[in-house]
């Protein structure tokens, strides 16, 4: 399964898996399958993990049937959306058969049993190319799985394949790799870094996916593609076997089509890992048993100036409607003041590019000719960060984090946009050096993500409406450390009284 680095694309990578032999081994006509099984409806790819899991557990559908349907859908539509850099068809189908046999034998692993998912291609996957979006790693084949991958597979999840991302998980793509396409409008931005995960999840090419977030890379693609993204507390989910960008700010989390699904995946992924010394040792609080509990009496913090200044009107209006719904359900809306964020972006940049040099030390600068122009520029800039600049950025981070934690202690959750605008027109050249002007054309007011990477606070992004042009809008719920359970409870309460999560793009 060695990629051709001279002509590498999603389609070439798929061919390398051996589709011809697979077709002979597993002949499949999806229309016949759907006629034979009334539970395999035309839009089953848009079912939630919760819904599909009940069908599998009750043996109304098999994981093997479901996995074939998902692989067929990928082959039929992903040439448009370009989300999978590598499909793992033979492995996925064999795993599905094994899980079906386990179920027949009375072994049920839990709500992820037999559920097909996608994995961002910077998580190590045993015996499968793991490239982190860069040709510098085109030859890399891990001999072990990332802890997150292991835990998901042990819980019964089936990995369909590896999903595309920005080079090195930063902000530009490598010119020899394809760029994911927003399923709502091909002319719009599909988000940064975890864009393959966001597009694949929103477009029904998996039932859930894994993303990573250093400065917004779960939240931006969740927002612009209209799905749910959970960025856990820093250290709550292991980063062992995950290519780093800036390891002091990197987070790993689920991207799904419902809040409950995100909670299901998070419960499996989270927890102490002795292989990652930065993971938190405290037990993971169970979310699902209380996710539908009332939010009556909870304190919801809101800073109107922070949440509406330089924010597009349709986004600000949607956030107001979120607050109205939460208040209608009995939550108390509390005025709070967000700490000053004016220095966050510059400080974040210095820390990120300096740490990115360390994360890429095995291939940069020794193999710098393999990098695309955008990420190469950032790495070379990282070499120029002085100790004083890094120390000053660290000071800003520490002071801001202390102030934010004090604010969060007084409330159960803080509400703000996931991003200040609806998805804007995608860049004409997504491979180039990312200038400030280019980034500001995508996110004109970039103040809603990086602050919570600085603090390591958990956040939950949830669809909260559509613009007049039918573009998704997203709200962000932010909590104090280890408050994932209450964030999901609040997000679930909002979601259940709205219909935004039930809208899907027409592919």
Phi, psi of 409 (to 5 degrees): -65, -25
CATH assignment of the domain containing 324: 3.90.1300.10
pLDDT of residue 309: 96
Task: Please check whether residue 506 lies inside any domain of the structure.
Answer: no
Which residues have CB under 8 Å from 347's CB, separation 6+? 392, 393, 396, 397, 454
Position 34 pLDDT exceeds 50: no
Q: Model confidence at 36, in pLDDT bands (50, 70, 90)?
A: low
Higher pLDDT: 88 or 429? It is 88
Residue 6 binned pLDDT confidence (cut-offs 50, 70, 90): very low
SS3 417: strand
Mean pLDDT score, 11-34: 34
Structure tokens, 436 = 């400030």
Distances (CA, A) of 71 to 35, 87, 89: 18, 8, 7
Q: What is the pLDDT of residues 457-488, one digit of tens each?
A: 999 999 999 999 999 999 999 999 999 999 99
129 belongs to a structural domain: yes
Q: What is the pLDDT of residue 24?
A: 30
Does residue 274 form part of some domain?
A: yes
pTM: 0.92
Which 8-state DSSP code applies to residue 427? P
> Hey, what are 346's tokens?
């510059």
**Residue 363 confidence (pLDDT):** 97
pLDDT score at 27: 35
Residue 14 has pLDDT above 60, yes or no: no
- The residue among 194, 201, 269 whose CA lies nearest residue 239 is 269
Distance CA 172, CA 449 (A): 18
Average of per-residue pLDDT across 361-381 = 96
Instruction: Decide if pLDDT at 61 tops 90.
Output: yes
What b/e sequence results for 196-220 when a residue is b if at least 16 CB atoms lie within 10 Å of its CB, and e otherwise? bbbbbbbbbbbbbbbbbbbbbbbbb
Rounded distance, CA 121 to CA 492, Å? Answer: 29
Query: What does the DSSP 8-state code read for residue 290?
Result: G
**Per-residue pLDDT reduced to its tens digit, 314-367:** 999 999 999 999 999 999 999 999 999 999 999 999 999 999 999 999 999 999
Domain assignment present for 2: no
- Flag whether 3 is in a domain: no
In a domain, 1, yes or no: no
Question: Per residue in 142-179, pLDDT tens?
Answer: 999 999 999 999 999 999 999 999 999 999 999 999 99
Residue found by looking up tokens 């409607």 in the block: 321
Let me know if residue 291 belongs to a domain: no
80: left (phi over 0), alpha (psi -120 to 50) or beta: alpha
Higher pLDDT, 26 or 456: 456
User: Where does the pLDDT of residue 41 fall: very low under 50, low under 70, confident under 90, or very high at 90 and above?
Assistant: confident
Mean pLDDT of the chain: 92
pLDDT reading at 31 higher than 50 = no
At 62-82, the pLDDT tens digits run 999 999 999 999 999 999 999
Catalytic residues: 120, 193, 217
Give every CB contact of residue 152 below 8 A, 6+ residues apart in sequence. 112, 117, 159, 210, 265, 268, 269
**Rounded CA gap, 440 and 427, in Å?**
11
Question: Has residue 2 got a pLDDT over 50?
Answer: no
Could you list the residue range(s) of the whole structural domain that residue 37 is in?
10-286+296-499
Please tell me the total count of domains within the chain.
Answer: 1
Pairwise CA distance, residues 29 & 421, whole Å = 42
Assess whether pLDDT exceeds 80 at residue 420: yes
Give per-residue pLDDT as tens, 228-267.
999 999 999 999 999 999 999 999 999 999 999 999 999 9
- Whether residue 225 lies inside any domain: the answer is yes
Instruction: Give the pLDDT band (50/70/90) at residue 39.
Output: confident
Cβ neighbours of residue 361 closer than 8 Å, sequence gap 6 or more:
none
pLDDT per position as a tens digit, 120-138? 999 999 999 999 999 999 9
The pLDDT value recorded for residue 120 is 98
**Local confidence band at 432 (pLDDT 50, 70, 90 cut-offs):** confident
> Residue 208's pLDDT band (boundaries 50, 70, 90)?
very high
- pLDDT band of residue 28 (cuts 50, 70, 90) is very low
Please give the sequence-ordered ranges of beta strands (E in DSSP) within 194-279, or none if there are none. Answer: 209-213, 228-231, 251-256
């Amino acid at each position: 399964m060695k990629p051709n680095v001279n002509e590498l694309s999603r389609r070439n990578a798929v061919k390398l898996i051996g589709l011809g032999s697979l077709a002979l081994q597993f002949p499949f006509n999806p229309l016949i399958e759907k006629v034979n099984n009334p539970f395999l409806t035309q839009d089953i790819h848009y079912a939630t993990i919760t819904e599909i899991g009940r069908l599998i557990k009750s043996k109304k559908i098999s994981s093997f049937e479901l996995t074939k349907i998902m692989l067929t859908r990928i082959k039929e539509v992903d040439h448009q959306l370009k989300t999978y850099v590598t499909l793992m068809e033979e492995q996925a189908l064999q795993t599905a058969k094994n899980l079906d046999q386990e179920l027949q034998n009375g072994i049920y692993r839990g709500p992820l049993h037999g559920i097909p998912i996608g994995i961002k291609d910077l998580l190590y996957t045993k015996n499968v190319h793991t490239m982190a979006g860069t040709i510098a790693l085109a030859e890399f084949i891990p001999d072990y799985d990332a802890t997150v991958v292991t835990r998901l597979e042990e819980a019964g999840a089936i990995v369909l394949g590896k999903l595309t991302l920005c080079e090195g998980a930063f902000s530009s793509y490598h010119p020899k790799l394809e760029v994911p396409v927003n399923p709502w409008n091909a002319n719009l931005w599909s988000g940064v870094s975890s864009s393959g995960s966001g597009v694949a999840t929103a477009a029904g090419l998996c039932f859930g996916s894994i993303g990573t977030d250093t400065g917004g890379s779960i939240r931006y693609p969740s927002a612009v593609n209209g799905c749910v993204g959970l960025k856990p507390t820093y250290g709550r989910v292991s980063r062992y076997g995950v290519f780093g960008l800036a390891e002091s700010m990197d987070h790993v989390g689920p991207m799904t089509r419902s809040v409950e699904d995100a909670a299901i995946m998070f419960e499996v992924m989270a927890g102490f890992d002795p292989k990652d010394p930065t993971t938190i040792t405290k037990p993971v609080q169970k979310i699902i048993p209380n996710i539908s509990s009332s939010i009556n009496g909870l304190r919801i913090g809101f800073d109107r100036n922070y949440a509406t200044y330089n924010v597009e009107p349709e986004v600000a209006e949607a956030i107001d409607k979120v607050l109205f719904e939460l208040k209608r359900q009995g939550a108390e809306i509390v005025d709070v003041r967000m700490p000053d964020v004016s220095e966050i972006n510059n400080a974040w940049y210095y820390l990120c590019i300096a740490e990115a040099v360390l994360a890429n030390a095995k291939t940069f600068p020794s193999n710098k000719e393999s990098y695309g122009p955008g990420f190469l520029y950032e790495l070379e800039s990282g070499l120029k960060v002085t100790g004083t600049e890094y120390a000053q950025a660290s000071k800003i981070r520490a002071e801001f984090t202390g102030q934010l934690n004090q604010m969060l202690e007084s409330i159960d959750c803080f509400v703000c946009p996931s991003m200040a605008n609806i998805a804007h027109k995608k860049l004409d050249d997504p491979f180039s050096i990312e200038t400030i002007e280019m980034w500001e054309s995508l996110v004109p007011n970039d103040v809603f993500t990086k602050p919570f990477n600085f603090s390591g606070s958990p956040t939950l992004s949830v669809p909260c409406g559509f613009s007049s042009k039918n573009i998704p809008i997203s709200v962000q719920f932010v909590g104090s450390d280890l408050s994932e359970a209450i964030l999901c409870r609040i997000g679930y309460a909002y979601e259940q009284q709205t219909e935004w999560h039930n809208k899907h793009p027409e592919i």
